[in-house]
Structure 1
């Protein structure tokens, strides 16, 4: 189930994206649930979220909190905000159907510094910019 949640998080963070990840309807439903909870918790403007698939990532504190919330709920980051590389590689590998690419992207994009929300924000942008399908992880 954790794998499903992580894949869902990946899709949520980047499912508004142009590319589709291979997830089940159950995973998508769980991801939607996480996104709804994180929208309420962060107070992020829904209009900002709609623009993520187009590669628009404004410097917005509420967006960063939303991304962190989803990342934690999917297991991409622990409660302390630390990136969980192995979890991301496993879940993205399945969702992208390309474990090697998932590992390459994860290793490249998890080398971020800052607060937990800043790290998540930078990771999402890096992943979007470096994935051939422009996948938005939220």
Structure 2
């Protein structure tokens, strides 16, 4: 019986890892497409992904909006979809409740236009829930 439970656990972990890998691949593809659409450099996109908002220009702000649209964080009316953000966004170690609090707070951000609105929401979230220092870097072997 313990053996069956152990096998079931291993399968569950493998499925969860596969789903996470697929989610990361989709996010990377969305980032690539949005960088092309908005004229954002790969370096600028990577900085934003890691929570570095230095030198964020209008293209970078529209990059965030594009990513939010593709991820489902913004609906067709440019309204933040908090439930989807909560289910998809990660952050540094911390509680689920802290993430929910941050998203609820940051969803209230505004901007002069749709790009700035999405950017301000993302910047607020990353200020509240920082990206882990090793985020997006290869794991040492």
* Corresponding residue number in structure 2 for 1:31: 27
Unaligned runs of 5+ in 2: 1-18, 133-141
Matched residue, 2:71: 74
TM-score after normalising by structure 2: 0.68
Higher RCO, 1 vs 2 (CA within 8 Å, ≥6 residues apart): 1
1:77 deviates by 0.5
Aligned runs of 1:55-94 on 2, under 5 Å?
55-92=52-89
SS in structure 1 opposite 2:67? helix
Match of 2:119 among 114, 118, 121: 121
Q: For 1:78-105, what per-residue CA distance to the aligned partner results, in whole angstroms no more than 9, with x for missing partners?
A: 1222111122123337x97833122101
Kindly report the root-mean-square deviation, in angstroms, between the aligned alpha carbons of the 2 structures: 2.5
Corresponding residue number in structure 2 for 1:44? 40
Q: Distance in 1 between matches of 2:45 and 2:23?
A: 19
Q: Secondary structure at the match of 2:89?
A: helix
Q: TM-score, normalised by structure 1?
A: 0.69
The structure whose Rg is larger is 2
